[in-house]
Structure 1
Amino acid sequence: MKNRVAYFGVFTALALIFSYVETLIPFHIGIPGVKLGLANLIIVVALYKMSLKETYLLSVVRVVLSGFIFGNYFSIIYSLAGGLLSLTVMALLKKKGGFSILGISIAGGVCHNIGQLVIAMAVVETFSVIYYIPVLLIAGLITGLLIGIAADGMLKRLVNIIF
């Protein structure tokens, strides 16, 4: 039990560090809400190394803490919606089998943006933000691929570590 708590703390700290690093990277393509999602790397790795319950808890803790530290109320709401939808889809695809970590991560990246877009439609009370969907889907695909490549590399190095 003690090791599980320690690993959870390490994963939480890593996710917060990646969230902070992301705030330092000037990544602006002119579309609101498009980010690299570096902290999602930790969530993808946790999906393969921790129980699903712990991974959901990690995702919520990461979003809430990073929102309080680096964002605001709306960033927490948007990130929770995207993160929980993303994690749910990734967990379902992993359970079903037949998908590589790259495919699962790409699906997670795309679904993260879809979750945020649904919340944006509810907040602004209009469907007109749906016009962002092509750009957000492409951004989710690219960032999901990059996170998947990094997660695959991390998991190959963590193969002997049992959490």
Structure 2
Amino acid sequence: MRSKVAYFGVFIALALIFSYIETLIPFQIGIPGVKLGLANLIIVVALYKTGGKEACLLSVTRVVLSGFIFGNLFSILYSLAGGLLSLAIMVLLKRNGGFSVIGVSIAGGVMHNVGQLIVAMLVVETFSVVYYVPALLIAGLITGMIIGVAANEMLKRLINIDM
């Protein structure tokens, strides 16, 4: 039990550090809200090392803490919507067993953007933001692939560590 709490603390710390690092990186491609999602690297690793429940708790905790530290209430709302939808899909695909870590991460990246787009439609009360879909899907695919490759490499190095 103690080791799970310790690992959870380490995962939270790493996710918050990656969230902070991401605020320092000028990653602008002209589409509002598109980020690399470095903290999601920790979520993907946690999903494979600890399971869906722990990854969900980690994701929600990270979103709320980083939202209060680096963002605002709207950033928490958008991140929670994207993060929970993303995690739900990643848990299902991982459980299915037919997808690699990279494939699961790509699906998570795409669904994160879909979740945020749904919230944006509800907040602005219009479907006009649907024009962002192609760009957000491509961005989610690319960032999901980058995070998936990094997570896959991390998991190879953590193979002997039980959590």
Matched, 1:140 2:140: yes
Partner of 2:16: 16
> How far did 1:118 drift?
0.1
Partner of 1:70: 70
- One-letter code aligned to 2:126: T
Partner of 1:125: 125
Partner of 2:152: 152
What are the superposed Cα offsets for residues 27-53 of structure 1, whole Å, 9 maximum, x if unpaired? 011110000000000000000001311
- One-letter code aligned to 1:58: L
> How far did 1:81 drift?
0.2
TM-score (norm 1): 0.99
Matched, 1:98 2:98: yes
Partner of 2:33: 33
Partner of 1:43: 43
Query: Secondary structure in 1 aligned to 2:31?
Result: coil
Counterparts of 2:67 and 2:26, CA distance in 1: 18
Counterparts of 1:32 and 1:129, CA distance in 2: 11
Aligned length: 163
Query: Secondary structure in 2 aligned to 1:33?
Result: coil
Gaps of 5+ in 2: none
Counterparts of 2:134 and 2:84, CA distance in 1: 21
Partner of 2:116: 116
Q: CA RMSD in A?
A: 0.4
Counterparts of 1:45 and 1:53, CA distance in 2: 13
Gaps of 5+ in 1: none
What are the superposed Cα offsets for residues 73-131 of structure 1, whole Å, 9 maximum, x if unpaired? 00000000000000000000000111011110000000000000000000000000000
Deviating above 4 A after TM superposition, structure 1's stretches of 4 or more consecutive aligned residues are none
Equivalent runs, 1:78-97 vs 2, <5 Å: 78-97=78-97
Query: Secondary structure in 2 aligned to 1:28?
Result: coil
Counterparts of 1:153 and 1:2, CA distance in 2: 26
